């Protein structure tokens, strides 16, 4: 029997099963981006609710992600693969923006779409490629 499974699907399944095991052990899924930024998924089972009453009104505040609240395994599992990929995409965007700034090029972006002035397309292609290589471990991050 031959299974035709694509590598991204296998990787996504591995991320999801890893997140499940981490959450089942009572820990929240967390990681560091290539820029060194800490990311933690705050998805928990039942958020703690605090009621604050004043003379004029009352507020219901939900505290999520506290250490004494167990993680929600289903939410941790479903959120980790896309959140991890988004953290890598945002690292690439940030590196591209920094390298464009250093080169004097204009830069604008929404999610993973990058724009620059037509006269700077060559520069942006070069700095975007550099940011991609740095993000995926082919070069060290240089500031």
The residues annotated with a catalytic role in the active site are: 112
Our CA angle for 63, 85, 122, nearest 5°, is: 130
Q: How many CB atoms lie within 10 A of CB 30?
A: 12
Our CA angle for 111, 114, 117, nearest 5°, is: 150
Cα distances (Å, whole numbers) of residue 128 to 36, 47, 90, 100? 19, 41, 12, 8
């Amino acid at each position: 029997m031959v299974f035709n499974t694509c590598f991204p699907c296998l990787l996504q399944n591995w991320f999801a099963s890893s997140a499940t095991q981490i959450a089942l052990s009572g820990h929240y899924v967390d990681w560091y981006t290539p820029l060194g930024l800490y990311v933690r998924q705050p998805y928990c089972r039942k958020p703690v609710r605090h009621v604050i009453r004043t003379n004029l009104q009352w507020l219901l505040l939900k505290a999520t992600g506290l250490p004494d609240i167990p993680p929600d395994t289903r939410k941790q599992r479903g959120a980790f693969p896309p959140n991890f990929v988004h953290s890598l995409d945002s690292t690439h965007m940030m590196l591209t923006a920094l390298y464009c700034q250093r080169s004097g090029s204009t830069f604008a972006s929404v999610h993973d779409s990058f724009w620059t002035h037509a006269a700077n397309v060559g520069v942006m292609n070069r700095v975007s490629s550099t940011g991609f290589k740095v993000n995926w471990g082919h070069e060290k991050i240089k500031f």
